A and B are shown apart, each in its own frame.
Chain A
Amino acid sequence: MRHAARDVISRRGTGLASIWRYVLAGLGLAALLVGILAVVYLTAPHSASGPDTSRSKKTASGLFMASFEPERGVIRQGELQSWLLTLKTAAGAPVEGAAITVSGGMPQHNHGLPTSPQATDYLGGGRYRIDGVKFTMSGWWQLRFAISAAAGSDSVVFNIVL
C-alpha cells in the first residue's frame, strides 16, 4: 500500500495531464477505501450499544435500590436456576416482607419467559430468592419485578444478554 502510494507520487508530471492523474488516482484509492470499509463494516459483529445490563439499579420511581444476581454466580443457558434479588431502601436499609411478582421475555422475539419464576424464600438482609429462572436461548432477555413493600410499590426491569 505505502509502496504503491510512493510509486504514484514518484511519477509526478507537469501540466493538466498530471492533475488528471492525481484526480484519478485519488478517486481509485478512495473507492478502494470505501470498499474495504464497507466489507469490514458488513462482516464485523454488530455490537450496537445494547440495553443497559447493569445488575444493580434504582427501581422505576426511585423507591428502592435493587440488585439481581444468579445465586451460583454463573448463568447456564437452558437450566432452571435460582437468582437473588436484593432490595434496599434509598437510605440503604434492607427491604423486608416485600411481595414480588416476576414477568418478562425477549423483546426482540415476540415471546415471554419459558418459565414462571417466583420469589420462593426470604434470606434476610433484603435478599429474596427468585427460583425457576430459565433462559432457553441466547439474545436479549428482560426480567421485570413488581415490588410491594411497606414503603410502597415500585418496579424494576433487568436486562440480561446471553
Chain B
Amino acid sequence: MRRLVSVASLLALAALALLGGCGRPQFSDAEKKTIASLALNTLPALKADTTNQYADVPAAAALGSTLFFDVGMSRDGTVSCSTCHKIDRQFQDDLPQAVGVGRTNRRTMPLAGVARDPWFFWDGRRDSLWAQALTPLENPLEQAGNRAAFAHYIKNRFGERYERIFGPLPDLSAVPANASPLGTDAEKAAWNAMPASQADAVNRVFANIGKAIAAFERSIEPPQTRFDRFAIDLATGTKPQGDAAFSPEEILGLKLFIGKANCVSCHNGPRFTDNSFHSTGVPPVKDLPPDRGRIDAVAQVQADPFNCFGKFRDGDASACRELRFMVKDGQDLVRAYKTPSLRGAASRPPYMHAGQFSSLDEVVAHYSKAPAAVEGVSEVHPLDLSDRERAALVAFLKTLSE
C-alpha cells in the first residue's frame, strides 16, 4: 500500500516536472513567432519618401537639423522644435502637455522611428513628416510664427544654404513681414492681400523648410534594447547571457503582453505600434479644451494645403494611398488616438495623449480596468489582472527602455 502511494506520487511528480518546469520550453512556437516579430532586427530599411525629393539629401538634413534647434524659428525667438523635442530626452519633454510659446493640450511625442509613421500627431491630422513639421511653426501655442516671416528669416539667415539645396529663393521684397492664412487677423489680411503667385512662392519656401526638417528627422531611429537581445537569442536558440537574460517576472510580463493582456494586438511589429487609431477610454483632462481625437483630425488633414494631394508634394499621387483610403467617419474615430510606440516608453512618463497617467502602473491599471469612454466606444475589455501580473507587465515594458 505504502509502496503504491509512493509510486503514484513519484509518477505525479515526474509528470509535473515534465509539464511545469525544467523540461518545458518557456515559450510555445506561436509565442516565439510573435516575440520574433517584435524584435528590432525585423524593422525594414526606411523607405524612400517620394513626396519629399530632399528626404535623403544630406545637405537638406543638415539644414533641417540647424532649423530644428534654432529658436529663431519662432515668433519671439525663444522656441524651436527642440524646445519640446529634447535631444537628450528621446526628443520629448517629460511634460503632460507641451509648452511652447503657450501651453498646448497634447503630450509631446518622441521622435524615434517617426519617419515610418503614416500619420502624424496623436490624431493623425497631418499625413507626411514634412507637412507635420510645418504645423507647430504656425501654431500660436508652439512656435507661433507665420510663413511670410519664416520665408524672410530663411532668406536673411540661411539664404545660401537654402539655395544650394532648393534652388533660387523667390523675390520676397514685396512680401509683408508677417502674413499667413492661419495667423492673427492682421496676418490673415496681409496674406489675403498678396497676389496668388506671391502666396504660392512663400508657401513653397515654407514647404521646403518642412522638407529639410523632415530630412533631419529621418535619421532618428529607435536603439536596440534588452528585449531585442533577448528576442534574438530566443529566435536563434541561444541561451540569453548577461542583461539579455530575462527574470521570471519579465518573462511573465512578456507572456501577458503577447497573450492574456492583448497588448500586442495594437502594439505590434518592431515599433510596437499598428500605426492606427483606437479609442481605449482614456479619460479627458479637466481644464483642457474638448478633445475628440481622430474624428476631428479627418477634416484637418483633408484641408491641409501641404497634404499629399496638394501641389507641394514631389513625385506622383501613388504615394497618397493612406490619405486616399483613410476612414473618414464613424464612431471608431471618436476619441481615437494613435497607438504610440512602446520603445523607450518606460523612461518617459507621463503617458497618453494629454499626459493623463503619471506612471506605467497607472497605464496598466487603466487597461486592466478598461473604463468606458466618455464619448464613443472604448475598444478594450477589462482584463482583471492581479497585482503580480500588472507588475510583471511593467517589468517587461522596462526591458524596452534598457
Q: B-contacting residues of A (Cβ < 8 Å)?
A: 1, 4, 7-8, 11, 21, 24-25, 28-29, 32, 35-36, 39-40, 43, 45, 77-78, 80, 109-118, 131-132, 134, 136-139
Given A110-B377, A136-B274, are A116 and B327 also a contact pair (CB < 8 Å)? yes
Q: List 20 A-B contacts (CB under 8 A).
A: A8-B4, A11-B3, A21-B1, A28-B8, A29-B8, A35-B15, A40-B19, A77-B269, A109-B265, A110-B378, A110-B381, A114-B276, A114-B277, A117-B325, A131-B325, A132-B325, A136-B266, A136-B275, A138-B265, A138-B268
Q: A-contacting residues of B (Cβ < 8 Å)?
A: 1, 3-5, 7-8, 11-12, 15, 19-20, 28, 30, 265-266, 268-269, 274-278, 321-322, 324-328, 330, 332, 377-379, 381
Among A25, A36, A109, A117, the residue within 8 A (CB) of B19 is A36
CB of B24, distance to nearest CB on chain A (Å): 8
Top 5 nearest A-B pairs (CB, nearest first) are A132-B325, A28-B8, A136-B274, A115-B325, A114-B276
Q: Are A137 and B266 in contact (CB under 8 A)?
A: yes
CA distance A151 to B382 in the complex (A): 47
Q: Which residues of B contact A114 (CB under 8 A)?
A: 274, 276-277, 327
Among A29, A45, A78, A110, the residue within 8 A (CB) of B379 is A110
Q: Which residues of A contact B277 (CB under 8 A)?
A: 114
Q: Are A137 and B268 in contact (CB under 8 A)?
A: yes
Q: Are A32 and B7 in contact (CB under 8 A)?
A: no
Q: Which residues of A contact B276 (CB under 8 A)?
A: 114, 136
Among A29, A36, A116, A139, the residue within 8 A (CB) of B325 is A116
CA distance A80 to B269 in the complex (A): 15
Which residue of chain A is the closest to B9 with respect to CB atoms? A28
Q: Are A118 and B325 in contact (CB under 8 A)?
A: yes
Q: Which residues of A contact B7 (CB under 8 A)?
A: 4, 7-8
CA distance A137 to B4 in the complex (A): 53
Given A35-B15, A78-B269, A137-B265, are A28 and B327 also a contact pair (CB < 8 Å)? no
Q: Are B379 and A109 in contact (CB under 8 A)?
A: yes
**Chain A: interface secondary structure?**
mixed
Among B5, B20, B268, B377, the residue within 8 A (CB) of A28 is B5
Q: Which residues of A contact B12 (CB under 8 A)?
A: 32, 35
CA distance A1 to B12 in the complex (A): 11
Which residue of chain B is the closest to A134 with respect to CB atoms? B325
CA distance A18 to B325 in the complex (A): 77
CB of A14, distance to nearest CB on chain B (Å): 14
Q: Which residues of A contact B15 (CB under 8 A)?
A: 32, 35-36
Beyond A35-B12, A109-B265, 12 extra complex contacts between A and B, CB < 8 Å: A4-B11, A28-B4, A28-B5, A77-B268, A78-B268, A78-B275, A113-B327, A114-B274, A114-B327, A117-B325, A118-B325, A137-B266
CA distance A8 to B377 in the complex (A): 62
Q: Which residues of A contact B274 (CB under 8 A)?
A: 78, 114, 136-137
Q: Which residues of B contact A35 (CB under 8 A)?
A: 12, 15
CB of B88, distance to nearest CB on chain A (Å): 31
Most buried by B among A78, A110, A111, A138: A111
Which residue of chain B is the closest to A25 with respect to CB atoms? B4
Q: Which residues of A contact B327 (CB under 8 A)?
A: 112-116
Q: Which residues of B contact A40 (CB under 8 A)?
A: 19
CA distance A78 to B378 in the complex (A): 22
Q: Which residues of B contact A113 (CB under 8 A)?
A: 327
Q: Which residues of A contact B11 (CB under 8 A)?
A: 1, 4, 29, 32
Which residue of chain A is the closest to B325 with respect to CB atoms? A132
Q: Which residues of B contact A11 (CB under 8 A)?
A: 3-4
CA distance A132 to B324 in the complex (A): 8
Q: Are A112 and B330 in contact (CB under 8 A)?
A: yes
Q: Which residues of B contact A25 (CB under 8 A)?
A: 4, 8
Most buried by A among B4, B325, B332: B325
CA distance A134 to B30 in the complex (A): 22
Q: Which residues of B contact A45 (CB under 8 A)?
A: 28, 30
Which residue of chain B is the closest to A28 with respect to CB atoms? B8
Q: Which residues of B contact A116 (CB under 8 A)?
A: 325-328
Q: Are B321 and A24 in contact (CB under 8 A)?
A: no
CB of A133, distance to nearest CB on chain B (Å): 8
CB of A108, distance to nearest CB on chain B (Å): 10
Q: Which residues of B contact A29 (CB under 8 A)?
A: 8, 11
